[in-house]
Each structure stands twice: as C-alpha cells, then as structure tokens.
Structure 1
Amino acid sequence: MEQYDSLKLSNQVCFPLYVASKEIIRKYNKFLKELDLTYTQYITMMVMWEVEKENVKDLGEKLYLDSGTLTPLLRKLEHKGYIKREKSKEDERNLSITLTNEGKALKEKAKNIPIEMMKCINLPLEELINLKDILNKIIGEK
C-alpha cells in the first residue's frame, strides 16, 4: 500500500455516502415538486404526521437540524398552512409546532412517495433494510 492510498477518493467511505445521499434527494425531489415541498420540509412533515405536536428543540434533534436551518423551514411550512407555531404556555421560550388540517391532508397526497422511491432505488427490500441498519449504526441510532 502506498503511503497516500488512504487519501485516494476511491478508498473513502464518505464519498459514496455523500453521492448516494445527493442522488436519493434528487430522486425524492421529483415527487416532492408536485407537493411544493423540499426534502427537508418533507422529512419535517413526516415527523409531524407521526406526532402531530412537537417542541421545536425536539423536532430539531430528531431531524439533526440546527435552529438556523429549522426556523426558516418551519416559517415556510407555516406560511403554506401545514403547521402552526405557538409559544408554550408553560415557558414562552419554548416553541411548539402543531399539525394543521391542511398538514394532515398533505399526508394523503404523500402516501405513495415511499413506494415510488423504492422503485427508483431498485434494490431488493432486504438490501434496503440492511443498508438502513448500517447507516443507523453509523449515526448512532438504535
């Protein structure tokens, strides 16, 4: 092994992860365009469809987004009518997000996106599950 082999792009794990991430998001965007959502807006809505009400801080932790990214994203979703932002009655420093009826209705429009994405990725289900498990190990989720 040459002294600098470890610096070759072709020997890196990070590069194919980076390119795959970009490619997956590009494929998602084909479907999300019809809903007028960005990928980060979509994953935010996915969390909201699960919980319907969430603290902004907890939402940011779930999505691995800092407040500088999350705040304008939430403003846009609120402007579109999908969520409502409210200061907590217990502590005004805390902001909570609530899913609106329009946000709930959007779930119906988005329901086929995961199936369509599986077709686009074109990997057997078992490999997708294994890939997800490996990626969760890397990011430290259970």
Structure 2
Amino acid sequence: MAKVRDVMTTNPDVLDTYSTLSKAAKIMKAGDFGVVPVVKDDAIVGVVTDRDIIVRGIAGGLGLEDPVDSIMTTDVTTVGPDDDVSEVRQLMIDGALRRVPVVDGERLIGIVSLGDLAEHGSGDDVLTEVSKAAPNN
C-alpha cells in the first residue's frame, strides 16, 4: 500500500502570517494552484485559498497589502507522511479537498494534491468525486 510520503510534493510554496494577499495571489498564479499553507516557525498555522482572497479579503473590504493571517483558515485538515494514500484519497473526497498539507508533528513537510494522486495511479475519478462533494458547485 502506497504511503503519502511516496506521492506528496515536498518543499511546497508557503506564506508566513505577515505575507500579503498580493503575495499569496502571485504564488498561486505562478504555481497554478489555489491554496497555500501558512507557516510560523515551520509549523502550519493555516491555509489561504484563492476563494479566501476574494470572499474574505477583497469582498470583505481588505486590500492586497493586508496580511494573510486576517483571512486564513486556521482549522486545517492535515495528514502524516506514513498515512495510506487510499485513506487520504477518501479524506479528500469526504472533505471536498484538492490539496492537503503533510505534517510531521506540527512541521509542514509537504503537500498532497489531486494531481499527485493521479500521477501515482491513486487518483482515478477522485477529481470527479471531490467536485461532487464540494459546496457551491
């Protein structure tokens, strides 16, 4: 059975709590993804999504130079490097998650995405299932 460490992306792009909404958006554009982990002293403290920038940030009256800690989600679902890929796949479907941070203790060590699962043969129809489960489709 494959483990998360076998499929995850290591050294993901991250933000610190003082990073701006503009920096978050630029990282997302450059990497062509919609979520970036937020870390403090290598520990994950939240995530920022493209939707957070628009809905919580811009529509909420914030500017592009405001810090991401004002809009980040702090209740973050994470997985460990030794978790089974099949369990993570189901977690992503059940939670409508496209990317899940990988932690060792509290330290962020990677991220696993739908693309990672598909690339390693564990993503068959997972995108379809996640999309069905996602709110606001």
TM class by smaller structure: under 0.3
Q: TM-score, normalised by structure 2?
A: 0.25
TM-score if structure 1 supplies the norm length?
0.25
Q: Between the two structures, name the one with larger relative contact order (CA 8 Å, sep ≥ 6).
A: 2
More helix by share: 1
